[in-house]
Amino acid sequence: MTTDTATTIPAPPRWLHFWAIATACAALPLLILGAEVTTRGVGMVDPRGFRWPWEIVPLVIDAVKQGNFALVIELMHRMFGFLVGIFAIGLCVGLLAKGRGWKRWVGVAVLAAVVTQGMLGRYRVDLNVLLGGELKLIHGCFAHLVFALLVSVAVWTSRAWNAPVPQASASSARLRHTSLLVVSLIYLQLVLGGLVRHRDLAFGARAHLLGAFVVVAAVAWLVKVAFEPPPHERQGTRAVGVLAALVGLQLLLGIESWLSKFTLVGQMPRQVEPLPVETDLIRSTHYLVGALTFAAAVTVALLAHRQVGWASRTAPAPASTLEGAA
């Protein structure tokens, strides 16, 4: 008779986990402000792509006094970009100092991703004449990847991630494969949404609408796979539940965003009138929830892959233990 005992990898300090959470939370207002910049079309309201924080503050004060809220939104987006950059620097230093193994270099990847996103934002303005809306689309799509990376670091630095890993099973293999499929489909759907926001393409809205049906079906299948095993074998069910709830909310916001476009046509039947909520806010929230949905899907995939060497590893028990259990 043989048994396995789990060997755990020491978790990073709790303060580092809380710093990772704070970094991800700091990115949320950055995402919503960035979405508002695109929704309201104010990305070029400031012709300079880069300003230092001490330059931005007086400009924001003057813009508020003048009622120029388009400039306020754009400049506050940049201010939160600096804030996330500061958090990313702290996270990078903390992981290099306290991380173990591959986690030490995750902070470097985070800082590189945040800097790259900032550069895309800067040159989206400075090179607008040369590249048009190309960098604007890339900037918006890359933001989802950066935010998902920040959430992933918060998961990797948690004590739950570093706990012993349960035995792998056939159901866990299905969960791993399905979760990766869901992550891919959701990101493709986000890219299609970016095409709808940034490009007036004939197939953009149609493909995005069709993609919504595909994503809902894939997430429903993921829920089935996650809750199918016995309770003691289930993994990441809480994250799967959060993902399903976000997809439902995203679907409702997508419907309202879609209906709000009919107001541009003229008088429409009452049944297709949008809710009495500012349509720009609905569209921006739709973008934000999309980022949260993708991050939740990545979290599910990470938790599903803990059994294949990402987190704690299982090692054979000592020979004396095996002989005594025989």
Torsions phi, psi of 33, nearest 5?
-70, -40
pTM (2 d.p.): 0.85
pLDDT of amino acid 324: 39
Q: How many CB atoms lie within 10 A of CB 121?
A: 24
- Which pLDDT value is given to residue 325? 39
pLDDT at 133: 67
Question: What is the distance between the alpha carbons of residues 260 and 275, in angstroms, rounded to a whole number?
Answer: 8
pLDDT of residue 212: 93
DSSP 230: -
Q: Which of 105-109, 239-243, 260-264 has the lowest mean pLDDT?
A: 260-264
What pLDDT is recorded for position 204? 78
Q: How many CB atoms lie within 10 A of CB 50?
A: 14
Q: What is the pLDDT of residue 167?
A: 61
> What are the DSSP calls for 20-83, one per residue?
HHHHHHHHHHHHHHHHHHHHHT-TTSSS-S---HHHHHHHHHHHHHHT-HHHHHHHHHHHHHHH
State residue 170's pLDDT score.
Answer: 58
pLDDT, residue 318, reads: 41
Give me the residue label for tokens 């207002």: 29
Percent of the chain residues topping a pLDDT of 70 = 80
Mean pLDDT of the chain: 82
- One-letter amino acid for residue 256 of the chain: E
Taking a C-beta distance cutoff of 8 angstroms, is the pair 136, 124 a contact? Answer: yes
pLDDT digits 0-9 by tens, 92-147: 999 998 877 788 889 999 999 999 999 998 888 887 666 666 788 889 999 999 99
Nearest to 107 by CA among 152, 145, 143: 152
pLDDT of residue 299: 94
Distance (Å, whole) CA 84 – CA 110? 11
CA distance 265 to 250: 24
Give the tokens for residue 60.
């924001």
Residue of 298, 17, 303, 300 whose CA lies nearest to 166: 303
- Report whether pLDDT(235) > 80: no
What count of other Cβ atoms lies within 10 Å of the Cβ of residue 43? 20
Choice between 258 and 153, residue whose per-residue pLDDT is larger: 153
Collect all residues with Cβ–Cβ distance below 8 Å to 12 and sequence separation of at least 6. 94, 95, 98, 99, 100, 103, 157
Q: Which of 300, 305, 303 is nearest to 223 (CA)?
A: 300
The pLDDT-based confidence of 269 (bands split at 50, 70, 90) is: low
What tokens were used for 293? 């949905």
Please give the pLDDT value at position 7.
Answer: 46
Query: What is the reported pLDDT for 240?
Result: 93
Measure Cα distances from 96 to 40, 92, 311 in Å: 40, 6, 18
**How far, in Å, are 87, 181, 258 from residue 294 at the CA level?**
22, 12, 21
Helical packing angle, 279-304 and 14-40, nearest 10° = 140
Q: How far apart are the first and last CA of the chain?
A: 5
Contacts of 59 (CB under 8 A, 6+ apart): 46, 51, 71, 75
Whether residue 291 is predicted with pLDDT greater than 90 in this model: the reply is: yes
**134-189 tens-digit pLDDT:** 788 889 999 999 999 999 999 999 887 877 666 655 567 888 899 999 999 999 99
pLDDT, mean of residues 18-42: 92
